[in-house]
């Protein structure tokens, strides 16, 4: 008797659950999964929000792939979503957002107001890419690029590929927030731009707290990147006027970085960044013979010199913008007492700090060509 | 009573799984808020008072020669005094069980079913808990072995996070920028609660005193898991960010990425249901044990039914997660009461009993 009652109760509950959960159902054909969100500055206190939603339309026997582009101006992102939602036949969902893009005009004033919803909304993944663009985000998103995937997908795949190849630092929302909250490090983001009929990677956007301060060019990104994190792969090319090293391309870069902090006689902090890297030569144009170990070590020294020079240039630029993107502050902080750290004017100190770069390279092999 | 006995290892796992639960998702934030930089060290310090507390509980078993806690209390303390104590203890334990489930369900709602009423989700979990608890303590403990095995499979995930773990982020400061150590102590102590239920296991445990050590084992497992999660959180995020994350562990799970499945955190969070079943179930079971002592004539399954039904109604009152956390802040004191005052009372009862024997 009790058993039968149990079965009956369970059945009623199941019915209750299934009927009440129907409010949370999403029918794929009626849902618009936003893939890309873009923000432009419209005027003083309004932003233009652009959404890109991939659509698959099936009519009769024909299947069409397209992006639905929605745009509206509003005071906040979520307000815009309500306005945008009135313009589409689909229920807008943010669970599949892959890329969030900001125009530099917005980023310059600070992203703090926009960060709130990104942190609060549990449907927005912390693996979303953060992209800064110099031109209008709306213009980039609202056009199609011939010979490339649909725009939203194009941007997403372009960045993912670069992340995987480790040619650019992997900056997703998680990394941005993490460094934003860290008092010894400033966040960064990646940039893209239009280049003719295509899109291309445009360098690293440097932030101080939540404000965009400047950028590194794509050529500088490799040198920044080896100071920013350890590498397991990646390639880079060095060109110079020297006859010994007109051009070298290293592949399969493996690098380790280490930051050491010490004090000089005057009591100022000095940072030494040690970079160790190795790779295999893919291309070499120069008058040396790589089979000889003397020539090889000469080339290694030339490489070291070059890397040190370029890295120091990048560091100077970072210091000029007062953006501690490498996280020197974390290391200085860990050397200080709590009181000393809180009392020290770190931003000033950082701008004037002596930061030296030391590089040590090793050529693992020189490929199939024995010369 | 059946001849079946709880194996000591089962007891360790039971204690471990009763202690861990939703609290694991919140703990790194609690620790960061109250203890500040490198606050995870506080968890190690917490080990000492809890060990002392467990020793207090085990001393009741040793001195009482394995008699049930109710028998011990009855032998020395008059019934009219025990009645209100049992009433408060029984309802308190039931409320803990109820809120644990409520909290789990509300986070579930936030994550996956934003439009579904949380009370419906709670009803479903409640039914599973009811079905589990009515199978009796032996079967609960057997099911628990399997549940713990499921939960432990998540531990290797921590290796994935090692890649993004950086010790320089943890800073070299200790306990700086914390809010209120006293409050933090009570909150973190509260997150270890669950071991006090071993008080009710006396008559069901295997003979001898060997099993008492396994309460410590269960508690050590909890400390290790808490430490693992909190330390990783401190190096994966940083302390300042932790303060602003409602559920740090969920955010960390959210960063996991497998090529074959998106949004693993929803799946992993659902897996924690097995931990909630035991945490909620054990509190309801203990509450039932207390009330059965009060009303021995009513079959214990009916007692359980009434206890669960009445807490289900109370569960309508708190409407938000913050309210539930506030309720927990009050209930912690009751749990502390069960963990400290009840064993002390039992020891007193034993003393009185001894005194009486001597005089007799």
A216 phi and psi angles, rounded to 5 deg = -105, 140
Q: Which CATH architecture has domain A218-371?
A: 2-Layer Sandwich (3.30)
Domains held by chain B: number = 1
Question: DSSP string of B203-243?
Answer: GGBPSSSTTHHHHHHHHHHHHHHHHHHHHHHHHHS-HHHHH
Residue A18: per-residue pLDDT: 65
The tokens 């009769």 sit on which residue? A60
| Interface touch A17/B121, C-beta < 8 Å | yes
Mean pLDDT of chain A: 90
Residues A218, A193 contacting (CB under 8 angstroms): no
Give the gap in angstroms from C-alpha A178 to the nearest C-alpha of chain B: 6
A340 is written with which tokens?
């000393």
Q: How many residues does chain B have?
A: 360
Residues A225, A169 contacting (CB under 8 angstroms): yes
Residue A17: per-residue pLDDT: 65
Dmax (CA) of chain B: 76
What's the CATH number where B19 sits?
1.20.1740.10
Residue B115: per-residue pLDDT: 87
* Residue pLDDT, tens place only, B42-71: 999 999 999 999 999 999 999 998 899 999
Which candidate in A178, A232, A324, A337 is best for mutational testing of the B interface (most B CBs within 10 A)? A178
Please report how many Cα atoms fall inside a 13 Å half-sphere around the Cα of residue A360, on the Cβ side: 7
- Domain assignment of residue B2, yes or no: no
In angstroms, the CA B94 to CA B76 distance is 26
Q: Give Cβ neighbours of residue B339 (< 8 Å, ≥ 6 apart).
A: B53, B57, B193, B195, B196
Give the gap in angstroms from C-alpha B171 to the nearest C-alpha of chain A: 5
Which candidate in B38, B109, B116, B239 is best for mutational testing of the A interface (most A CBs within 10 A)? B116
Cβ-in-10-Å burial (0-12, 13-18, 19+) of B70 comes to: buried
Please report how many Cα atoms fall inside a 13 Å half-sphere around the Cα of residue B55, on the Cβ side: 6
- Domain assignment of residue B360, yes or no: no
- A57 pLDDT tier (thresholds 50, 70, 90): confident
A 10 A CB-CB count for A236 gives: 22
Nearest to A118 by CA among A81, A70, A67: A81
Which candidate in A14, A115, A338 is best for mutational testing of the B interface (most B CBs within 10 A)? A338
Break chain A down into helix, strand, coil percent, rounded to 5.
40, 35, 30
Give the gap in angstroms from C-alpha A368 to the nearest C-alpha of chain B: 33
Nearest to A67 by CA among A155, A127, A160, A135: A155
Nearest to A285 by CA among A299, A305, A271, A304: A299
- Alpha-helical runs (H) found in A87-217: 104-109, 112-120, 137-141, 151-165, 173-181
A 10 A CB-CB count for A290 gives: 19
B chain contacts of residue A35, beta-carbon cutoff 8 Å = none
In angstroms, the CA B328 to CA B317 distance is 14
| Interface touch A183/B240, C-beta < 8 Å | yes
In angstroms, the CA A85 to CA A3 distance is 49
- Characterize the bridge pairing of strands A236-239 and A211-216: unpaired
* Closest-approach residue (CA) in chain B for A177: B241
Nearest to B235 by CA among A126, A346, A339, A330: A330
Residue A44: per-residue pLDDT: 82
- Domain assignment of residue B101, yes or no: yes
Give the gap in angstroms from C-alpha A335 to the nearest C-alpha of chain B: 8
Q: Classify A91 as helix, strand or coil.
A: strand
| Interface touch B116/A327, C-beta < 8 Å | no
CB pairs under 8 A between A and B: 73
CB of A174 within 8 Å of a chain B CB? The answer is yes
The single-letter DSSP state of residue B341 is: I
In angstroms, the CA B290 to CA B141 distance is 19
Bridge partner list, A338:
none
Residue B285: per-residue pLDDT: 96
Candidate from B124, B172, B244 with C-beta closest to A334: B172
Give the H or E element holding residue B296: none
- A43 pLDDT tier (thresholds 50, 70, 90): confident
* Residue pLDDT, tens place only, A253-278: 999 999 999 998 988 999 999 999 99
| Interface touch B123/A335, C-beta < 8 Å | no
> What is the side-by-side order of every strand in the sheet holding A129-133?
A62-74, A46-59, A36-43, A99-103, A129-133, A188-195, A198-208, A211-216
A 10 A CB-CB count for B31 gives: 31
Q: What is the pLDDT along chain B (360 residues), one digit of tens a residue?
A: 456 899 999 999 999 999 999 899 999 999 999 999 999 999 999 999 999 999 999 999 999 988 999 999 999 899 999 999 999 999 999 999 999 999 999 999 988 888 888 998 999 999 999 999 999 999 999 999 999 999 999 899 888 888 889 999 998 999 999 889 999 999 999 999 999 999 999 999 988 889 999 999 999 999 999 999 999 999 999 999 999 999 999 999 988 887 777 778 888 999 999 999 999 999 999 999 999 999 999 999 999 999 999 999 999 999 999 999 999 999 999 999 999 999 999 999 999 988 888 876
Residue A174: per-residue pLDDT: 94
Candidate from A13, A174, A335 with C-beta closest to B123: A13
Which candidate in A25, A35, A169, A174 is best for mutational testing of the B interface (most B CBs within 10 A)? A174
- Check whether A224 has a pLDDT greater than 80: yes
Q: What are the CA-CA distances from residue B154 to residues B149, B150, B193, B262, B275 (Å)?
A: 9, 8, 22, 17, 13
Candidate from B116, B237, B263 with C-beta closest to A24: B116
A56 phi and psi angles, rounded to 5 deg = -120, 110
Residues A166, A68 contacting (CB under 8 angstroms): no
Give the H or E element holding residue A258: strand A247-263
The tokens 């509206």 sit on which residue? A72
Candidate from B111, B120, B168 with C-beta closest to A122: B111
A 10 A CB-CB count for A70 gives: 21
B31 phi and psi angles, rounded to 5 deg = -60, -45
Domain extent, residue B181, equals: 8-354
């Amino acid at each position: 008797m009790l058993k039968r009652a149990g079965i009956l109760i369970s059945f009623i509950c199941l019915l209750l659950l299934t009927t009440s959960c129907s409010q949370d159902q999403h029918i794929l054909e009626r849902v618009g999964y936003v893939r890309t969100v873009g923000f432009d500055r419209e005027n003083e206190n309004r932003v233009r929000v652009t959404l890109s939603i991939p659509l698959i339309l099936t009519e009769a026997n024909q299947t069409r792939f397209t992006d639905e582009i929605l745009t509206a101006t509003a005071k906040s992102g979520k307000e815009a979503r309500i306005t945008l939602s009135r313009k589409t036949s689909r229920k807008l969902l943010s669970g599949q957002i892959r890329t969030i893009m900001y125009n530099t005009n917005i980023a310059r004033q600070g992203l703090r107001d926009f960060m709130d919803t990104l942190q609060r909304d549990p449907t927005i993944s912390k693996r979303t890419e953060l992209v800064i663009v110099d031109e209008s985000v709306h213009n980039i998103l609202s056009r199609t690029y011939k010979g490339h995937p649909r725009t939203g997908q194009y941007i997403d795949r372009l960045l993912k590929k670069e992340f995987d190849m480790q040619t650019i630092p992997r900056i997703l929302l998680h990394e941005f927030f993490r460094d934003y909250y860290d008092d010894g490090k400033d966040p960064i983001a990646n940039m893209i731009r239009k280049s003719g009929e295509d899109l291309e990677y445009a360098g690293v956007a440097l932030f101080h707290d939540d404000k965009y301060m400047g950028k590194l060019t794509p050529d500088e990104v490799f040198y920044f990147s080896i100071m920013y994190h350890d590498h397991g792969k990646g390639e880079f090319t060095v060109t110079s006027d020297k006859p010994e090293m007109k051009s070298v391309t290293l592949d399969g870069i493996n690098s380790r970085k280490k930051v050491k902090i010490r004090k000089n006689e005057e009591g100022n902090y000095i940072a030494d960044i040690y970079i160790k890297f190795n790779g295999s030569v893919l291309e070499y144009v120069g008058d040396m013979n790589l089979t000889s170990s003397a020539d090889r070590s000469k080339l290694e020294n030339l490489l070291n010199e070059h890397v040190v020079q370029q890295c120091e240039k990048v560091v100077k630029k970072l210091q000029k913008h007062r953006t501690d993107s490498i996280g020197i502050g974390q290391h200085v902080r860990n050397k200080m007492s709590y009181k000393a750290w809180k009392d020290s004017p770190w931003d000033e100190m950082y701008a004037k700090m002596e930061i030296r770069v030391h590089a040590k390279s090793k050529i693992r092999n020189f490929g199939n060509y024995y010369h | 009573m059946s001849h079946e006995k709880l194996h000591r290892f089962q007891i360790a796992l039971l204690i471990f799984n009763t202690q861990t639960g939703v609290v694991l998702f919140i703990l790194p934030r609690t620790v960061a808020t109250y203890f500040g930089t490198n606050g995870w060290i506080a968890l190690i310090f917490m080990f000492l008072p809890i060990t002392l507390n467990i020793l207090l509980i085990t001393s009741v078993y040793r001195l009482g020669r394995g008699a049930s806690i109710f028998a011990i209390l009855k032998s020395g303390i008059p019934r009219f005094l025990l009645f209100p104590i049992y009433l408060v203890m029984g309802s308190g334990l039931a409320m803990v069980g109820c809120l644990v489930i409520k909290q789990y369900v509300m986070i579930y709602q936030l994550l996956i079913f934003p439009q579904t009423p949380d009370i419906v989700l709670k009803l479903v979990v409640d039914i599973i808990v009811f079905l589990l608890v009515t199978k009796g303590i032996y079967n609960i403990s057997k099911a628990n072995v399997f549940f713990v095995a499921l939960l432990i499979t998540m531990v290797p995930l921590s290796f994935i996070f090692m890649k993004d773990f950086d010790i320089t982020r943890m800073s070299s400061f200790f306990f700086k920028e914390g809010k209120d150590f006293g409050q933090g102590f009570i909150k973190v102590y509260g997150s270890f609660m669950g071991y006090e239920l071993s008080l009710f296991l006396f008559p069901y445990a295997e003979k001898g005193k060997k099993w008492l050590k396994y309460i410590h084992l269960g508690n050590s497992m909890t400390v290790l898991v808490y430490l693992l999660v909190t330390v990783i959180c401190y190096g994966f995020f940083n302390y300042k960010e932790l303060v602003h994350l409602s559920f740090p562990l969920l955010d960390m799970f959210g960063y996991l990425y497998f090529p074959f499945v998106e949004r693993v955190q929803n799946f992993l969070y659902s897996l924690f249901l097995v931990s909630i079943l035991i945490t909620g179930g054990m509190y309801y079971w203990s509450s039932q044990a207390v009330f059965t002592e009060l009303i021995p004539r009513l079959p214990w399954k009916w007692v359980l039914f009434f206890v669960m039904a009445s807490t289900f109604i109370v569960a309508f009152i708190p409407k938000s997660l913050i309210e539930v956390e506030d309720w927990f802040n009050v209930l912690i004191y009751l749990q502390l009461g069960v963990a400290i005052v009840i064993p002390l009372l039992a020891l007193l009862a034993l003393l009185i009993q001894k005194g009486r024997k001597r005089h007799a």
